[in-house]
Amino acid sequence: MNILHPQLNIVALFLSIWFLFDTLWEKFMKERETTEFPAAPSQKRRREVGIQLRDYVVDTTVGQQEVGEKTECRRLYFSTLDAVVGKMSVRFSERKGQLVEALCTLHPGSECFMDVDKVRPLLDLTGTEFKEAEFAVAWRFLLDEIARSDENWTTQNILQRYWEPLAAMPTVIEMLKLSLTFGASTATCEN
């Protein structure tokens, strides 16, 4: 696929999804031929246009749409895909991506550990007052401590070992604590 032509990418994606449905439908029909199903309920009688409308051209539905089984399944298939894509768009929006990046920034193994610009969405979410000096001092202090040891550092280790020195930087402590509980609190809210 050519990245320079996003419309072609969308068309190609749509066609591949369309062909995927056809493939699934063919598998379903083959399986259906070899499997015995209970007798289907009798079909509804065929509806006809009323006598009063026979002399007119009817260009809208009047409640007697004959839909084939494949057409109905295709409609359900695409409706389901549409609902899933909508939920994924909400779930993985740009804002949530920024929050995940902010949480990663608070992990000592991150390349951008304690980067003030990347932590800002988390500060905005919690309504915490931003104090850049606290992050600068904490960053320098923690990098020095990490460089002195060969341990595998985690956010939890930092809070356990350096609670007292970091107490002078309440914004930093608040963000580190939040990074440890954010996933659990979010999952609780969604349930």
- Summarize pLDDT for 58-75 with one digit per residue, the tens: 666 655 555 678 888 888
% of the chain exceeding 70 in pLDDT:
74
- Summarize pLDDT for 145-174 with one digit per residue, the tens: 888 888 888 888 888 888 898 888 888 888
Euclidean distance between the first and final Cα of the chain, in Å? 39
> Which tokens sit at 4?
């320079």
Q: Check: CB of residue 133 under 8 Å from CB of residue 168.
A: no
Q: What angle do CA 81, 182, 152 make, to 5 degrees?
A: 110
CA distances from 83 to 10, 19, 53, 96 (A): 18, 19, 38, 19
User: Residue 1: pLDDT above 50?
Assistant: no
- Summarize pLDDT for 11-65 with one digit per residue, the tens: 666 677 777 888 888 888 888 778 776 666 666 666 666 777 767 666 666 555 5
Which of residues 120 and 9 earns the better pLDDT score? Answer: 120
Q: What is the mean pLDDT of residues 113-128?
A: 83
